[in-house]
Amino acid sequence: MTAVIEIEGLRKEYRRLRKPPTVALDGLDLEVSEGGVFGFLGPNGAGKTTTIRCLLGLVAASAGRARLLGNDVPGGLSGVIRRVGSIVEAPMLFPRFTGRRNLEILGRIDGIARGAVDQALERVGLTARANDMVRTYSLGMKQRLGIAAALLKDPSLLILDEPANGLDPAGIVEVRDLLRSLGAEGRTVFVSSHILSEVQQIADRVAILARGRLVAAGSVHDVLASGRGARIAVRVPDLEAGRLALADAGIAATIEGDLIRASVPPEEGERVTRALVARGLYPSLLQPDEGNLEHAFLELTGDDHQVGT
């Protein structure tokens, strides 16, 4: 598969007067292949938005290399920008212009017809409010207008920074379905988000970033397996006795609900069975526990999720 995003050793330092520079990206390596939805995860301050800004030529990298659709960034960006739709942080649009006028202004840059503006507005469900000033829009409507702007170019690559930000539950479901359908159309959707459950539902592949570095990347299944999610879930009649039995066998375990989660890889399930049976505790259930992306995320990023923006 062709890589649509290639990042090698990307570093970004922000210089500050009389203070040491802040390192936002510290030698990031990442490759995103064509098609599907790619989730880009990381705690606040991990460098997700800086990565996106570097990819779109908004900030200059201090070192390293980035390529978008095969062209170097920022030098070759103009050659591929027509095929890239994006939202960086919150969608930035002119508040005193109508939604339609905002899209028309952007569309004219690439000679996009008015019909395409109407289609984009319709796709995000904003046709009825298209002639209202953007400043009267709710955060969710602005977000949808931003997505409409990103779709206006009919892009092969979408780079969306927190697209579900500010949306109500119905809006989140709409955006989720939209992103899924865009990915299914053969486009590549690169989506950064902190709503991990959302990403888990739509992404085929994910990358997790912490302190400006990549800590995990691959299919959702692989990333889950590399984090705290690589465990075994067991159900026994006496949960506390089971936990102690496992602890005595050198297996860390926690009780969650009506299950014991043992921190051993699924292929070592036999160790768990032996330890429990030795104490007369016969499991009624024993299965690999992939957990969820949230667990894997917390495991892989450690305490970084407490870092401020």
Partner 1 sequence: MRGLLASEFLRFRSRRLVTVLLGAALGGCGVAAAIAAWQSTPPTEEVLAGARAQAEEEFRLCMNADFGGEEFDGSREEFCRENAGNPTYYMPSHLALAELPQILEGISSLTSILGLVVGASVVAASWQTGTISTIFTWEPRRLRWFGARIAVVGSGVFAVTVIIVAFLSAALGFAAALRGSTELTGGWWRDVMTTSLRIAVIAAVAALIGGAVAAIGRHTSAALGVVFVYTAVLEGVLRAFRPLWSPWLLGDNIVSFVSWQTTEFGVESGSYVLSPGRAVFVILGYTAIVLASGFMFVRIRDVQ
Q: Using CB under 8 A as the criterion, which residues of the chain lie in contact with partner 1 when the complex forms? A: 53, 56-60, 74, 77-78, 81, 84, 86, 88-97, 101, 104-111, 149, 153
CB of 77 to partner 1, least distance (A): 4
- Provide the minimum distance between the beta carbon of 139 and partner 1 in the complex, in angstroms, as a whole number: 14
Nearer to partner 1, 25 or 217 (CB): 25
Q: Which residue number, 9 or 74, has a Cβ lying nearer to partner 1?
A: 74
Pairing of strands 36-41, 205-210: parallel
Question: Smallest gap, in angstroms, from Cβ of residue 143 to partner 1?
Answer: 13
CA distance 191 to 87: 10
**What one-letter code names the amino acid at 25?**
L
115 contact partners, CB below 8 Å, separation of at least 6: none
In whole angstroms, how close is the CB of 207 to partner 1 at the nearest point? 21
Rank residues 84 and 214 by Cβ distance to partner 1 and give the closer one: 84
CA angle 98, 102, 108 (to 5 degrees): 140
DSSP state of 85: E
Kindly write down the DSSP assignment for every residue of 152-165, as one continuous string: TT--SEEEEESTTT
Q: Please name which of 82, 79, 84 lies closest in space to residue 32, comparing C-alpha atoms.
A: 84
Which H or E run contains 66?
Answer: strand 63-68
Query: Shortest distance, CB of residue 178 to partner 1, whole angstroms?
Result: 19
Nearer to partner 1, 104 or 294 (CB): 104
Residue number, 99 or 227, with CB nearest to partner 1: 99
